[in-house]
Structure 1
Amino acid sequence: MINPISLLSLNWQSYFDILIVAILIYSLYVWVRGTRAFQILVGLGALGLLYGISSWSGLFLTSWLLQYLLGIILLLAIVIFQPEIRQLLEKVSPLAIIRLKGGPVPRAILTEIAETSFFLADQRIGGLLVFPRATPISDAIQDGIQLDSLVTRELLVSIFQKSSPMHDGAVIIEKNRMTKAGCYLPLSTREGLPPKYGTRHRAALGICEHRDTLCVVISEERGVVSLTRSGEIETMTGEDQLRQNLESALLPRIRSKSSIKESVAQAIASRLNYRELMQKNLVAKFMALGLSFLLWFVLVGQQWSEISLTAVLEYQNMPANMDIVSNPVNEIQVRVRGPRGSISILTPDQVRVMIDLNNVVPGSQTIDLTEDNLRLPFGVETTFMEPRSWTMEFDRLITRRLIIDYDLIGELPEGLELTDVVVDPPSIEFPGRENELKQIKQVITTPPIDLSQITDSQIIRTNLKIIPSLPYRFPTPEVMVSLSLMERVIPEEDSEQPLSENDEGLSSSDAPTLVRLVNRIGGVADNLPKNP
């Protein structure tokens, strides 16, 4: 099946390829238009179009028969169009493109030919003069009498007299010599020529179509002189016009060694007529361009190739309260197949692999990768993916609030009593994964506060320490611990009576423990829900 490719996705090489084919198609059209070969080529094009339609629609038997039939017809076409193919190869030869124009025919002889041509036209005497240029014509002409004589008016008139046995043939002029007379030329097979053109005109067109020549045709019936070149006939209005055209086509230009490059460039530019390129046969040129695009899509689009690449894995629709615990798979090895035109411009960014995590739950879960998870350009399909499945760990994201404990060591100096310890803030919230937060047993201040170094009430800046120590990282801001001290007052009567072993009560060393217990009970009470 044909897979169309977006024009915007083609690279410059593809556009250049299409342009070259369009030029070849248009050149082929110009070469065969008006001939029987054009009808044969139209038939071949119709068979090719039928083959493309049958391949696209899945008619396997029809496409198979047409495929072999086209192969046989193309082989026969090479045999049938052997002269035309040889002519085409001669025209595209580099020697023909950069040739030095024609043989060096002297200017005096060209003037003599122009005057003689219009003299014959006035006398209603027909004639045909052929000037070979870049390619030889010996194999394209028949019969002819060898002359090898100077070009003179009297000789030309005597040759083309009706009583002359050579008047129906053509005269071949090379340089300043008439080499042959009474030559028969191949007639043009072009259709649609005006009825006014007789055998001489068709012979002149025929030799110009087969070889690179210039012909002067004198019409016997109408008394008109015409110049034929490059398959076109132009009527001359006078001797001066004919002489100027002959001189521009046959006189050599004086060139120095240093100007060879300029002469080659001028020869190529003379063949590339930009005005004709932009204004002539626009319909045929656009049709050739459209046919070139169609051939590119049909032929290149049906040639499939494969490529391996690494695609980035995208995780989508992750719930806000879930997180990935295990190391995720980030890359997928993919092998894709498609039309050569699509594969040649394919980049890893155009191959997207997406996993939907909308329905994940806490715990282990197996992720399966299928073709539905891939997003590929149109006309491209996948043949291999690795890995196809893997296991991932997920956990719920929560926030846990814990009371901050303070750590006191040592004893207060004698005569001081700890009345209050306040931690600001008294508790802290830890955001994170649920299983990780459950492992936290206690949060205390660090480093421990040494009471033996405390002499008055003060506020101490401390950090926090999580117990037990975990490999996970949690936010641990600084906290302020406020210590309130007062001087201890001992009554005199109490100081004179020592305590016995049976006396009940707390000593001064037990005060910090009592304060800490009261604060923890108060902190727990603050976090309990209150009834309205």
Structure 2
Amino acid sequence: MPKWQELVDFSPVAAFINIVDVLLVWFVFYKLITIIKGTKAVQLLKGIFVLLIARILTEFFGLDTLQWMMDQVLPFGFLAIIIIFQPELRRALEQIGRGRLFARTMMQEEEERDRLIEAFVKSVSYMAKRRIGALISIEKETGLSEYIETGTGMDSLITSELLINIFIPNTPLHDGAVIVQRNRIAAAGCYLPLSESPFISKELGTRHRAALGISEVTDAVTIIVSEETGAVSLTANGDIDRNLDMEEFEARLRRVWFGLTTEKQDSSIWKWRWRKNG
């Protein structure tokens, strides 16, 4: 049957099924990308794509010897992918088992968001009052894996108690940055790139320069508590907001991390105050 005849005879039901099929495949690929984003697997995936493109080019240009070599390697690619991506595949299977692979409800997301913000506000408030220096960088779209590798891996649930304990002076992990990835503490004691901008105030120390440095090369949000003054600052997109009180800090953090409106921020501030006082 000619192709045009097949298109004419294409029933609405068959068209709907094919659309659903394509959307499901797209969704699976999207979830896989979100799982491996910010990990070493991204670079390995790029390498696989390079090999596939090289294989096509060898056939196009008639490079017989190189084509033969790649034909010997590629058949084992599926097994190699399973071995290389074993941590990511295991995490995906665990999420399927817990029912977490698919998107959570809006209520669950809002509750998790409020829990995270409350943990940061409580820990930062505690450290600011006692002048405990702190540096916390939160990953957004740009992966921070190369900086995570410079510290001590943790993969821990975010709590105010744990954040405070990490930055207590003279403890093994207090010197360096905590990096938050996928709503968990990925690592502590990490080294961040220092900003080389000549316009930075001379008052700012190494923590502030590191916070500005990471905000200049990534879209990360970074929290700083000054050890000298207890002042709270926040950096994002190469800018720094200094000397924030707790209300301003929470509002700013919600805006740059989650993109919430002022109305939602104000509502959350009062909710946290009620919990604290109640």
| TM-score normalized by the length of structure 2 | 0.51
Task: Answer yes or no: is the 8 Å Cα contact 2:178–2:185 preserved in 1.
Answer: yes
- Structure 2 letter corresponding to 1:136: G
**Higher Rg of the two aligned structures:** 1
State the shift of 1:152 in Å.
1.2
Q: With CA pairs under 8 Å and 6+ residues apart, which has the higher RCO, 1 or 2?
A: 2
Match of 1:128 in 2: 135
> Is the partner of 2:172 in helix, strand or coil?
coil
RMSD in angstroms over aligned alpha carbons?
2.2
Deviations 1:163-199 (A, max 9, x none): 2111111111124311111101111111132121110
Question: Match for 1:202 among 198, 205, 209?
Answer: 209
Q: Among 227, 243, 247, which residue is 1:240 paired with? A: 247
Contact residue 138 and residue 221 of structure 2 kept, 8 A: yes
Aligned partner (choices 162, 171, 174) of residue 178 of structure 2: 171
Partner-residue secondary structure (3-state), 1:146? strand
- Give the corresponding residue for 1:158: 165
Matches within 5 A, 1:31-180: 106-140=113-147, 143-180=150-187
Q: Whole-Å Cα distance in 1 between the matches of residues 198 and 157 of structure 2? A: 37
How far does the alpha carbon of each residue in 1:188-229 deviate from its partner, in whole angstroms, 9 at most, with x for none?
111132121110001101111111110000000011000101
Match of 2:200 in 1: 193
Q: What is the CA–CA distance in structure 1 between the aligned matches of 2:150 and 2:256, rounded to whole Å? A: 27
Partner in structure 1 of residue 35 of structure 2: none
Distance 1:243 1:164, change over 3 A: same
Point out where structure 2 has 5 or more consecutive residues left out of the alignment. Answer: 1-108, 261-278
Q: Does 1:224 align with 2:240?
A: no
After superposition, give the CA deviation of every residue in 1:227-283 in whole Å (9 maximum; x if it has no partner).
Answer: 101111102432121111111222367xxxxxxxxxxxxxxxxxxxxxxxxxxxxxx
- Look up the SS of the partner of 1:217 in the other structure: strand
State how far apart, in whole Å, the 2-side matches of 1:205 and 1:242 are: 17
Q: Report the CA distance between 1:107 and its aligned residue.
A: 1.5
Maintained 8 Å contact 1:236/1:242: no
Q: What secondary structure, in the 3-state scheme, does the structure 1 residue paired with 2:150 have?
A: strand
Distance 2:156 2:217 in 1: 26
Distance in 1 (CA, whole Å) between partners of 2:212 and 2:149 is 16
Equivalent position of 1:184 in the other structure: 191
Q: Mind listing any 5+ residue stretches in structure 1 that lack a counterpart? A: 1-102, 254-532
Residue type at the aligned position of 2:173:
M
Structure 1 distance, partners of 2:182, 2:146, is 19
CA distance in 2, matches of 1:248, 1:232: 14
Give the Cα–Cα distance (whole angstroms) in 1 for the partners of residues 195 and 149 of structure 2. 15
| Equivalent residues of 1:141, 1:186 under 8 A apart | no
User: Which residue does the alignment assign to 1:213?
Assistant: 220
The SS at the match of 1:205 is: helix
What are the equivalent positions in structure 2 for 1:379-398 lying under 5 Å apart? none
Alpha-carbon distance between aligned partners in 2 of 1:178 and 1:140, rounded to the nearest angstrom:
13
Q: How does the TM-score come out when normalised to structure 1?
A: 0.27
User: Secondary structure at 1:163's aligned position in 2?
Assistant: coil
The whole-number CA distance in structure 2 between the counterparts of 1:252 and 1:223 is: 26
- Structure number with the higher helix fraction is 2
CA contact (8 A) 1:140 1:207 kept: no
Distance 1:252 1:227, change over 3 A: closer
1:426-469 Cα deviation digits (max 9, x unpaired): xxxxxxxxxxxxxxxxxxxxxxxxxxxxxxxxxxxxxxxxxxxx
Any runs of at least 4 consecutive aligned residues in structure 1 with deviations exceeding 3 A, and if so which?
none
Change (3 A) 1:228 1:194: same
